[in-house]
Amino acid sequence: MRALALRLALIVLVALPALAQAQFSAQIMPPRFEDSAKPGEVYREVIEISNIAPVPLRMKVSTSDWSLNAEGGVAFQASLADQSCRPWTALEATEIEVPANGKRRFRFEVRVPADAASQQCRFAVMFEGEPTPVPGVALPVAGRIGIIVYLDVGDARAQLSVVGSGVVEEGGRPLPMLRVRNTGNAHGRIEGFIDAIDATGERWTLAPAGNPILPGVTRDIPLYPVVNDDDPIVLAFPMQVKGKLEWRGQSIDIDATADR
């Protein structure tokens, strides 16, 4: 059985130039929360911040709405979006300090109204460092990390279906893909392994990219060959793809042809 070699798609976003990344000493976990709550409940969670610098780290903390573009890039929005659930949220503090080479636990909560309809509450907890001078940059730059929260309220859930298949280019390499539509009212993220046979008769095991599929969105999900790190990957199309993928206790049967 070939060992897994996947690129993990984490929605941890550092909004600063490459030159400035070394100036931001925070490591924040987990990168996201995916959970559920009932109307009338208070959902509470903890974020852990590590400061890997030998000096204290001061950060501002806030919430933000966000959206994804067609390529999966995230845009944060400080003003309230339509039907935002951020008024339900509360933060432990809006400014924090993490000791040098130390850690801090940060708490937040979501107070779901008793009359809340089934929906998905999505927002980000934003951590922003103090502006820091960076060589080659005219103005000081502040590092920023967004921790994404997906909270299914009531009976909210994804409804995923495969509506197409094909080939996508990634890093100059062709990969099979599935076009997945979400007609539900919560996001989905397909997982698992499926079998494939390429045009030469070579058999492969494939695993989907862990990209979120938001409600009302159709998204192309690349399928990565499961191989050892040093194994060559030469795929011949068309590929016959068959098996079953899952998300949050639900499953979807796959029987498709990936062709250019």
End-to-end CA distance of the chain: 28
pTM: 0.84
Task: Characterize the bridge pairing of strands 218-225 and 203-208.
Answer: antiparallel
pLDDT in tens, 192-234: 999 999 999 999 999 999 999 999 999 999 999 999 877 888 9
Residue 255, amino acid: D
Q: Which two tokens stand for residue 216?
A: 């009302």
Around Cβ 1, how many Cβ atoms within 10 Å? 6
Q: Across the chain, what does the average pLDDT equal?
A: 88
Phi, psi of 36 (to 5 degrees): -140, 160
How far, in Å, CA of 78 to CA of 195, rounded?
Answer: 43
* DSSP secondary structure of 87-117: GGEEES-SEEEE-TT-EEEEEEEEE--TTPP
**Three-state SS at 18:** helix
Phi, psi of 207 (to 5 degrees): -135, 140
How far, in Å, CA of 149 to CA of 33, rounded?
Answer: 5
pLDDT in tens, 163-176: 999 999 998 899 99
By C-alpha distance, which of 158, 149, 147 is closest to 34? 149
Q: Which two tokens stand for residue 212?
A: 């979120």
pLDDT in tens, 77-98: 999 999 999 999 999 999 999 9
